[in-house]
Chains A and B, each alone.
Chain A
């Protein structure tokens, strides 16, 4: 059994653990060995085998006593944007290198309470700012310097970002599941690029407490795994109100997101925005999306043509709002209470400026600069307030669309994963590639990406967007698709 353990998904492994066909220690040991064997991918930035095995032994005791919770003994890994007491948290940044949090993020705590065992922390773009995971500034496990995460489907390509380590680890079967965060597409786009399933719930579903803040009105946590069924199980454990710790947590009780998985799709109206299949989409990607829509029609769904007329505007709107919020959130990194501090400085102001210059990477500085500018006196109305108004219009467009359909489908990204270095440090090229995930993020809607085919050997994901709090329906549509197809079961060669 042990040789095949990494092929098991979360649901299957949880069942095998409960039936005592495999122990939590065996599962953890097996995954730790794989992480070590494939460390060249650069997916992990922190691993502590003793910690993992101790958690696994505790899980085995619970399993032996018959006290298993939904995920008892299932090994998972966390994006390094979630703070953890047991492992360092860097958010991919030199300014937090070696930081040890005095508390666990709510999402981390909830998953631990559901019985999950932690395999380690996963690489991500610095402060989750990036679409390629090339903006990571801390060394991966087994490296002395920062390295980009490699896509297991083609090691010369990026895994997507910012949850690139999470996507690569799940695709390479280094973990059956991982946590991710999605601010403008950081779960859906890497899930698409690495051929895994990922869901970002409605804004406010998962607590932001202990997620290193990037853009507070957009940041949401979600799971990445190999199937919609597994994501439903994980998401149920992750979500729930956290009113004492997160001021924007939704007043909705925790839900069993698996409850509708098996529902029929007969009569389901799937809206396809014409802006999502325009000239900017690679032909191979469009072909995969069309084939997936045809599959949905076979399953009883009906295709409805819709429009989201402000899709292109979501790029400037998002990059203004996210940068504004980031410039505010990142003002806490001043070299006083935690993290890096510059060595030589004249006075307090000089210490701040040098510390931040040394500690932040290029993309982070760019966004702080843009955000500072759009919030500054004389520019606030023209940029930040205008962006918030157009944000309202984008959210309203979705409500118009949902009068005609139950779900929206399209590509998660215009292309497959690009080559490492291909965007050549042109940040605007990265921004443009986020076009299909940004509208849903701005509106705060739940969205997911599911594997639906390949273009030139690289995975292509179909993005599904639902109305507020419709996660169970999204997961239902994804699950039925995965019962009818096997794209989600494909593994990259050698993994």
Chain B
């Protein structure tokens, strides 16, 4: 398997990354180098093996924890927006989405 330039462009678009042309080409070589390592993993017979999504599953039952339905957080808007790139009247500003 070898990724082509158009594969890289498709993945970059899915990942919301605007790669420069030389960067795309360099990355293609590096990613293909990595996938050479992956071929051996693909060849492993994993029939009947349960995927392990989470190491905790080997120790205890993983159950989705539910929080009590109560107000626990105070209003912290100012601190939460302190590092935002653009804020107005307590709202996060983004470019216009709907004309």
Residues of chain A at the chain B interface (Cβ within 8 Å): 98-102, 202-204, 217-218, 243-244, 247-248, 250-251, 312-313, 315-317, 319-320, 327, 331, 334-341, 345, 347-354, 356-357, 360, 362, 365-366, 368-370, 372-373, 376, 382-383, 385-393, 395, 426-428, 431, 442-444, 468-469
Contacts and interface: CB of A to CB of B under 8 A. Distances in A.
B34 A427 contact: yes
Interface of A is mostly: helix
A357 B14 CA distance: 13
Given A244-B67, A247-B64, A100 B51 contact: no
A243 B30 CA distance: 40
A204 B55 contact: yes
B59 A100 contact: no
Contact of A203 (B56, B64, B95): B56
B83 A339 contact: yes
A395 B51 CA distance: 11
A391 B44 CA distance: 11
B65 to A, nearest CB: 6
Q: Which of B44, B67, B84 has the most A CB atoms < 10 Å from its CB?
A: B44
Interface in B16-59: 16-20, 23, 27, 30-31, 33-34, 37-38, 40-42, 44, 46, 49-56, 58-59
B65 A247 contact: yes
Contact of B16 (A203, A352, A387, A468): A352
Given A348-B94, A395-B55, 11 more contacts: A102-B76, A202-B59, A203-B55, A217-B54, A339-B85, A341-B86, A365-B19, A369-B27, A386-B42, A388-B53, A431-B34
Q: Which of B13, B15, B27, B85 has the most A CB atoms < 10 Å from its CB?
A: B15
B79 A312 contact: no
B15 A428 contact: no
Contacts of A339: 83, 85
Contact of A356 (B17, B80, B97): B17
Contact of A386 (B46, B55, B76, B92): B46
Contact of B51 (A202, A251, A389): A389
A444 B55 contact: yes
Given A203-B55, A338-B84, A102 B79 contact: yes
Contact of B17 (A340, A368, A370, A389): A368
Interface of B: 3, 7-8, 11-20, 23, 27, 30-31, 33-34, 37-38, 40-42, 44, 46, 49-56, 58-60, 62, 64-65, 67, 72, 76, 79-86, 92, 94-97
A339 B64 CA distance: 31
A243 B63 CA distance: 12
B12 A388 contact: no
16 contacts: A250-B59, A316-B38, A316-B41, A317-B41, A337-B84, A338-B83, A353-B17, A357-B17, A357-B20, A369-B15, A369-B17, A370-B31, A376-B14, A385-B51, A393-B46, A443-B55
A426 B44 CA distance: 26
A469 B11 contact: no
A323 to B, nearest CB: 9
Contacts of A352: 16
B85 to A, nearest CB: 4
Q: Which of B16, B23, B59, B94 has the most A CB atoms < 10 Å from its CB?
A: B16
B40 A393 contact: no
Contact of B49 (A203, A345, A392, A468): A392
Contacts of B33: 426-428
Contacts of B41: 313, 316-317, 320, 386-387, 390
B13 to A, nearest CB: 8
Contact of B11 (A203, A315, A372, A388): A372
A370 B95 contact: no
B11 A373 contact: yes
B40 A389 contact: no
A348 B46 contact: no
